[in-house]
Amino acid sequence: MNRKGFVLIQEEDGLIRELLERWLGEAGYPVSATRDERPYLVIADVPNPRSAQTVIASLQAVYAAPILVMSGRFRRGVAGSGETARRLGVKKVLAKPFTRKELLSAVAASLEED
């Protein structure tokens, strides 16, 4: 990766967070749980899509980075929809469970310039 910074993962489930860190690290994305530095991408779990706006707004207030949200409550078809991402004001949404390939594709799409 030629980017400066890292990917910040906000995920309460330690096993899922470790898996994401491993998959992203193996793909060359530096990952950190430290909130003191400036990430170039934020990946955040949204346990309840009804409260997504609050979570997203709090992240946007702190970080000037694209946000990828994931949730086990997103339906697969809806999560792949750009409309859902636009409505939430994020770069991409990802339905849990997802594969390594789906995660890396969502990360790459989140980092693309508009």
Residue ranges of domains in the chain: 7-100
CA–CA separation, 112 vs 37, rounded Å?
21
Peptide bond into 39 cis (omega under 30): no
Q: What pLDDT is stored for residue 81 in this prediction?
A: 61
Residues 21-46 have a mean pLDDT of 87
The pTM (predicted TM-score) of the whole model is: 0.85
Q: How many angstroms separate the CA atoms of 32 and 7, rounded?
A: 6
Helix/strand/coil for 79: helix
- CA dist 52 and 50 (Å) reads 6
Q: Confidence class of residue 1 from pLDDT cuts 50, 70 and 90?
A: very low
Q: What is the DSSP string of 10-71?
A: E-S-HHHHHHHHHHHHHTT--EE--SSS--SEEEEE-S-GGGHHHHHHHHHHH--S-EEEEE
Look at residue 33 in the predicted model and tell me its pLDDT. Answer: 63
Over range 1-20, report the average pLDDT: 85
Evaluate whether 45 touches 10 at the Cβ level (below 8 Å): yes
Q: Which CATH architecture has domain 7-100?
A: 3-Layer(aba) Sandwich (3.40)
Give the per-residue pLDDT at 92: 87
